Amino acid sequence: ENMEELPVQTWSIKSPIFEACYRDAVTVTKLPDAEINKQRSKLLVPGSKLPETPNEAKLPLLMMIAPSTGNGATGVQYDVIVPCGWGMSVWMSLVYNCCATGGQEQEFSLHLEANTRLPPNLQPDMDAYQDYAKQQIQEREDEFFRRPPNCRINLIKLGTQFPFWPPWKKLIKAWSPMGVQDYFILRDMKILTSLAQLIGNTCKQNR
């Protein structure tokens, strides 16, 4: 069934994870990994599960689903929220159960392949993008100037005026004779689909 056709539920979320007393309790009662590995080493059958005990910490876990904004059910996103101190343990459990891991580059590729909306730090009209852009500019400049002068790319010879980040306002000003103060990303999928079809038909006619 298409995820876009599923009804949106309006009930309130109730979970122990929203109670500070529960979160603090499971953080304090969490056994260190060294203790868990010590108990596993004493198992008669290596690799078997540890028996549960009454004093074992009961982990409240909250999963939030974000339906795909693309076609079909591809690109459905799940957010797993756990109390403080449990992040690495839950992450390792997911990895050991065949969950693939990736960084920001892989996340960007997944968004493009699934045709889903990019995160706020990659949308030029969002405040998160401005902070992310400053960080990326600084990192790329540091990486560029760490190289010896004879090993750097000659940006002047290549005519690259802005090598570290695209200056959207200057580009829009160059494209718009009237000048534009603010800019916004078009996110309406119907309009984007119509534009893609129009551009595709125009390219076919010009061949």
Q: What is the pLDDT of residue 179?
A: 67
Most distant pair of Cα atoms in the chain: their distance: 78
Q: Taking all residues of the chain, what is their mean pLDDT, rounded to a whole number?
A: 80
Most confident range (mean pLDDT) of 8-12, 46-50, 112-116 is 46-50
| Six token digits for residue 40 | 């596993």
Does the pLDDT value for residue 10 go beyond 60?
Answer: no
Q: What is the pLDDT of residues 64-117, one digit of tens each?
A: 877 765 555 556 778 888 888 888 888 888 888 888 887 777 777 777 777 777
Residues 6+ apart with CB under 8 A from 23: 17, 60, 83, 84
Q: What is the pLDDT of residue 145?
A: 92
Q: How far apart are CA 58 and CA 166, in angstroms?
A: 48
**pLDDT grade for 207, boundaries at 50, 70 and 90:** low
Q: What is the DSSP string of 10-78?
A: -PPP--GGG-HHHHHHHHHSPPPHHHHHHHHHT-SSTTPPPPP-TTS-----EEEEE--SSSTTTT-EE
